[in-house]
C-alpha cells in the first residue's frame, strides 16, 4: 500500500476545505501531475498549475458577484477543463452543478430550469447552447486550458484576468451547498441530489483511507465525473491526498489495460461490466506486465464471487469492491490488503451503518435486512424540486434501498435490491421510465419492463406488453419508437408481445414472473 504522508482526516477537518487541499498540494507537490487526460492527447496539469487555475476561476466568480449557494451549471464531459471548473467553483465556495447531458437528454431543459443557475459553462459540441434563450443565466463556452498560454473560452477569460489581487477566501460555510448532481435514473426523472460542503468533504477522506489512496498513487478512471461515484473516489480522492488522476472519457476494452501499463497506474476504477468484458474477451496482459497496479475497483452493481475469481484467475490482478449511493456518498470500500470475497468492504465508521428489520431493529451478523445509515442525527438528505427549491427526503438516518448483512468481521455483504431497478453496465435504469415511453404508442394496453441476465452488462432491458383489442402491433414498431425516444443504453434488447401480462394476487404487475418466463425461454 502507498505510504500516506499527509493524513486525509486532517485535511478533511481543514476549515478551508477544497481550497486548503489545493494549497497544500501546490506547496508539497507543485510540479507533480494532478491530472493526466488521456483523450486530450495526454495533456497534463500539475498541482501547482491547478491551484493557479482554481484561483483564477475564483477571481472571475468574485468579479461576477457570485456568493455561497449561487449555482454554476457545468455541462461537459471528462476533461481537465471540466474538473477545474467543478473544483474551482467549490474552492471559491459557490455550488457546482453537474449534469450528464447525453444520459439526461429527455429531461435536460427541465433539469437546467430547476437549477436556476447564475452561470452556465458548457462544452462545445454537446448541443446545449440552443437552450440558452429559455434559461436565464450567463452562458459561457468552457473552452480549453493550455499550460503555455493561449487558453480559450472561459478558461482563457479567467486566466487573462489581472492576477494582482490575492485569491478570494472561500465565501461558504460547511453548511452551504457544495454540489448538486443528477442520478442516472433511479426514478423515471433523474433526481437532483444536494450535498453540503460538510457532507461532501467529510466523505472523501474516509473513502480515500478505505481504498488506501496516498500521494504516490496514480488513479485511472473512465467513469463520468458528472456523478458522485467518480467525483468522490477518484477526483476528490486525488486532491484530498495529493495523488495523480489519469482520466479517460469512456471505457475501452481494447485499451484499458494498455492505459494501466503506459501510465503506470496503481489503482484503476472498474465495474462488473468492464470486468466481464475482459473475461469474455481476454487481452494479452497479466499482472507481471503491470507490476505497479495494486488493484482494480468494482462498484455500481453487484459482482458475483464467480465473476470476481474468474477475472483474478485469468489476469492475476486483485479486485477490491466498494459501495455507495448518490444521496450518502461512498458507504464502504476496500483495497488489496483489506478486501474479502463476496463483500464490498467494511463500512466507513462515521456512517454508523446498521442492517435492520422491518421495525427498524438492528439485526445480528449474518441476518439479511435493509441497509440503513446516518451518523449525524441532524443531517437532512436533500433533493432539488422542479421549482428549484430544496426538499428534505429524510433526516438523521436513511435506508439505501438495498438488502444485505454484516458478517462477524464487520464486512458488508449486499444481497439484493428493494426496488425493481435494472442495472445495466453499472447504470440504473427505472422500468417505469421505459414503461411510460412504450405507453405513448396508442396500440399498447399495458407494459412491464424488466431486467434479465446479461453476461456482459449484468442486466439487459426487455419489454413485455399487451396490445389493445384489435390493435395491430409488431415488436419492430415498439423498437423504432424506443430508438427515437431513448438513449441506446436504455433501449430494450427484446420486445415480447403477449395476450395479457401476469398479475399478483393484489392485482399488481408481476415483473418477477416475467423474468422467470424469459429465463425459461432463453436457457
Phi, psi (rounded to 5 degrees) for 399: -90, 140
Query: What is residue 209's predicted lDDT score, i.e. its pLDDT?
Result: 97
> 433: domain CATH number?
3.30.300.30
Whether residue 82 lies inside any domain: the answer is: no
Query: What is residue 493's predicted lDDT score, i.e. its pLDDT?
Result: 95
Query: What is residue 167's predicted lDDT score, i.e. its pLDDT?
Result: 83
Query: What is residue 421's predicted lDDT score, i.e. its pLDDT?
Result: 77
Whether residue 508 lies inside any domain: the answer is: yes
Query: What is residue 11's predicted lDDT score, i.e. its pLDDT?
Result: 42
Query: What is residue 396's predicted lDDT score, i.e. its pLDDT?
Result: 94
First vs last C-alpha separation in the chain: 44
The whole-model pTM stands at 0.83
Whether residue 336 lies inside any domain: the answer is: no
Q: What angle do CA 324, 256, 183 make, to 5 degrees?
A: 30
C-beta of residue 211 within 8 angstroms of C-beta of residue 335 = yes
Whether residue 33 lies inside any domain: the answer is: no
State the CB neighbour count (10 A cutoff) for residue 142.
23
Q: What is the rounded CA–CA span in Å between residue 366 and residue 359?
A: 18
Residue 209: all three cell numbers together: 483511507
Whether residue 444 lies inside any domain: the answer is: yes
Whether residue 442 lies inside any domain: the answer is: yes
Question: Three-state DSSP class for 334?
Answer: coil
Range of the domain at 512: 422-521
Q: How many domains does the chain have?
A: 1
> What dihedral angle (degrees, nearest 10) is formed by the CA atoms of 76, 77, 82, 83?
150
What are the pLDDT tens digits along the chain (523 aa)?
333 343 444 444 356 789 999 999 999 999 999 999 999 999 999 999 999 999 999 999 999 999 999 999 999 999 999 999 999 999 999 999 999 998 888 889 999 999 999 999 999 999 998 999 999 999 999 999 999 989 999 999 998 877 767 888 899 999 999 999 998 643 457 889 999 999 999 999 999 999 999 999 999 999 999 999 999 999 999 999 999 999 999 999 999 999 999 999 999 999 988 898 898 788 999 999 999 999 999 998 778 787 898 899 999 999 999 999 999 999 999 999 999 999 999 999 999 999 999 899 999 999 988 999 998 888 999 999 888 889 998 999 999 988 889 999 999 999 877 767 788 998 878 787 888 899 899 899 889 999 999 999 999 999 999 998 889 999 999 999 999 999 999 999 999 999 989 976 545 678 889 999 999 999 8
Residue spans of alpha helices (H) in 216-341: 228-230, 236-241, 256-262, 272-280, 305-315
Query: What is residue 301's predicted lDDT score, i.e. its pLDDT?
Result: 75
C-beta of residue 143 within 8 angstroms of C-beta of residue 53 = no
Whether residue 44 lies inside any domain: the answer is: no
Q: What is the rounded CA–CA span in Å between residue 487 and residue 508?
A: 28
Phi, psi (rounded to 5 degrees) for 201: -65, -45
Specify the residue for cell string 467525483. Answer: 231
C-beta of residue 34 within 8 angstroms of C-beta of residue 73 = no
Query: What is residue 431's predicted lDDT score, i.e. its pLDDT?
Result: 81
Whether residue 448 lies inside any domain: the answer is: yes
Amino acid at each position: 500500500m502507498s505510504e500516506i504522508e499527509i493524513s486525509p482526516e486532517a485535511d478533511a477537518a481543514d476549515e478551508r476545505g477544497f481550497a486548503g487541499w489545493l494549497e497544500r498540494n501546490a506547496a508539497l507537490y507543485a510540479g507533480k501531475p494532478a491530472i493526466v487526460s488521456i483523450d486530450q492527447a495526454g495533456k497534463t496539469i500539475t498541482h501547482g498549475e491547478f491551484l493557479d487555475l482554481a484561483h483564477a476561476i475564483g477571481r472571475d466568480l468574485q468579479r461576477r458577484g457570485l456568493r455561497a449557494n449561487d449555482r454554476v451549471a457545468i455541462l461537459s464531459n471528462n476533461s481537465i477543463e471540466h474538473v477545474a471548473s467543478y473544483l474551482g467553483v467549490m474552492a471559491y465556495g459557490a455550488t457546482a452543478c453537474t449534469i450528464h447531458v447525453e444520459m439526461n437528454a429527455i429531461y435536460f431543459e427541465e433539469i437546467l430550469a430547476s437549477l436556476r443557475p447564475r452561470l452556465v459553462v458548457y462544452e462545445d459540441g454537446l448541443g446545449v447552447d440552443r437552450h440558452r434563450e429559455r434559461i436565464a443565466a450567463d452562458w459561457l463556452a468552457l473552452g480549453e486550458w493550455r499550460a503555455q498560454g493561449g487558453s480559450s473560452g472561459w478558461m482563457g477569460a479567467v486566466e487573462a484576468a489581472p492576477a494582482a489581487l490575492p485569491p478570494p477566501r472561500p465565501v461558504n460555510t460547511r453548511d452551504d451547498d457544495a454540489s448538486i448532481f443528477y442520478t442516472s435514473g433511479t426514478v423515471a426523472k433523474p433526481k437532483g441530489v444536494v450535498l453540503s460542503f460538510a457532507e461532501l468533504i467529510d466523505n472523501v477522506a474516509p473513502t480515500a483511507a478505505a481504498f488506501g489512496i496516498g500521494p504516490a498513487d496514480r488513479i485511472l478512471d473512465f467513469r463520468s465525473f458528472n456523478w458522485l461515484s467518480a467525483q468522490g473516489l477518484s477526483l476528490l480522492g486525488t486532491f484530498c491526498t495529493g495523488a495523480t488522476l489519469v482520466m479517460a472519457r469512456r471505457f475501452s476494452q481494447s485499451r484499458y489495460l494498455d492505459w494501466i501499463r503506459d501510465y503506470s497506474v496503481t489503482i484503476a476504477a472498474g465495474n462488473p461490466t468492464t470486468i466481464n468484458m475482459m473475461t469474455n474477451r481476454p487481452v494479452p496482459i497479466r499482472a507481471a506486465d503491470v507490476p505497479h497496479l495494486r488493484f482494480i475497483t468494482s462498484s455500481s452493481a453487484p459482482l458475483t464471487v464467480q465473476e470476481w475469481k474468474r477475472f483474478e484467475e485469468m489476469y492475476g490482478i486483485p479486485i477490491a469492491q466498494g459501495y455507495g449511493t448518490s444521496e450518502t456518498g461512498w458507504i464502504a470500500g476496500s483495497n488489496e490488503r483489506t478486501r474479502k470475497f463476496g463483500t464490498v468492504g467494511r463500512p466507513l465508521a462515521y456512517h454508523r451503518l446498521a442492517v435492520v428489520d422491518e421495525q427498524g431493529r438492528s439485526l445480528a451478523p449474518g441476518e439479511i435486512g435493509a441497509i440503513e445509515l446516518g451518523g449525524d442525527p441532524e443531517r437532512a438528505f436533500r433533493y432539488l424540486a422542479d421549482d428549484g427549491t430544496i426538499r428534505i427526503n429524510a433526516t438523521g438516518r436513511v435506508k439505501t434501498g438495498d438488502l444485505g448483512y454484516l458478517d462477524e468481521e464487520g464486512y458488508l455483504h449486499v444481497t439484493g435490491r428493494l426496488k425493481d431497478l435494472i442495472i445495466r453496465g453499472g447504470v440504473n435504469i427505472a422500468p417505469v421510465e421505459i414503461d411510460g415511453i412504450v405507453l405513448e404508442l396508442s396500440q399498447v394496453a399495458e407494459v412491464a419492463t424488466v431486467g434479465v441476465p446479461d453476461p456482459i452488462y449484468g442486466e439487459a432491458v426487455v419489454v413485455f406488453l399487451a396490445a389493445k383489442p384489435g390493435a395491430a402491433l409488431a415488436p419492430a414498431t415498439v423498437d423504432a419508437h424506443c430508438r427515437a425516444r431513448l438513449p441506446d443504453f436504455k433501449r430494450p434488447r427484446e420486445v415480447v408481445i403477449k395476450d395479457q401480462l401476469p398479475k399478483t394476487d393484489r392485482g399488481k404487475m408481476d415483473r418477477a414472473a416475467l423474468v422467470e418466463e424469459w429465463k425459461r425461454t432463453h436457457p
